[in-house]
Amino acid sequence: MKSIIHSHKSVRQYSVRTVDEATIVKIVNAAVRGSNTGNMQLYSIVLTTQPKIKQQLMPLHFNQPMVEHAPLVMTFCADINRFSHWCKLRGTEPCYDNFLWFSTALTDTVIAAENAAVEAEFAGLGICFLGTTMYNAEEIANVLNLPKGVVPVITMTAGYPEDPELPLTERLPYQAVLHFETYKDYTDSDINKYYNEFENLDKIKDIVKQNKLNNLAEVFTQKRYTKTDGDLFSKKYLDYVKKSFTMD
| Cβ-based neighbour number of residue 137 at 10 Å | 24
C-alpha 157/C-alpha 48 separation (Å) is 10
Shortest reach from residue 15's CB to a second copy, in Å: 21
| Cβ-based neighbour number of residue 141 at 10 Å | 23
Residue number, 66 or 134, with CB nearest to a second copy? 134
Shortest reach from residue 148's CB to a second copy, in Å: 10
For residues 227, 229, 235, 239, the Cα torsion angle rounded to the nearest 10 degrees is -160
Residue number, 69 or 152, with CB nearest to a second copy? 152
- Signed CA dihedral, 113, 116, 121, 124: sign only: negative
3-state secondary structure of 243: coil
Residue number, 10 or 15, with CB nearest to a second copy? 10
Residue number, 162 or 204, with CB nearest to a second copy? 204
Shortest reach from residue 109's CB to a second copy, in Å: 9
Shortest reach from residue 162's CB to a second copy, in Å: 19
Residue number, 59 or 131, with CB nearest to a second copy? 131
- DSSP result, 97-158: -SHHHHHHHHHHHHHHHHHHHHHHHHTT-EEEEEGGGGTTHHHHHHHTTPPTTEEEEEEEEE
Question: Nearest Cα to 195, choosing from 216, 224, 220?
Answer: 216
Shortest reach from residue 165's CB to a second copy, in Å: 17
Shortest reach from residue 18's CB to a second copy, in Å: 15
Residue number, 165 or 196, with CB nearest to a second copy? 196
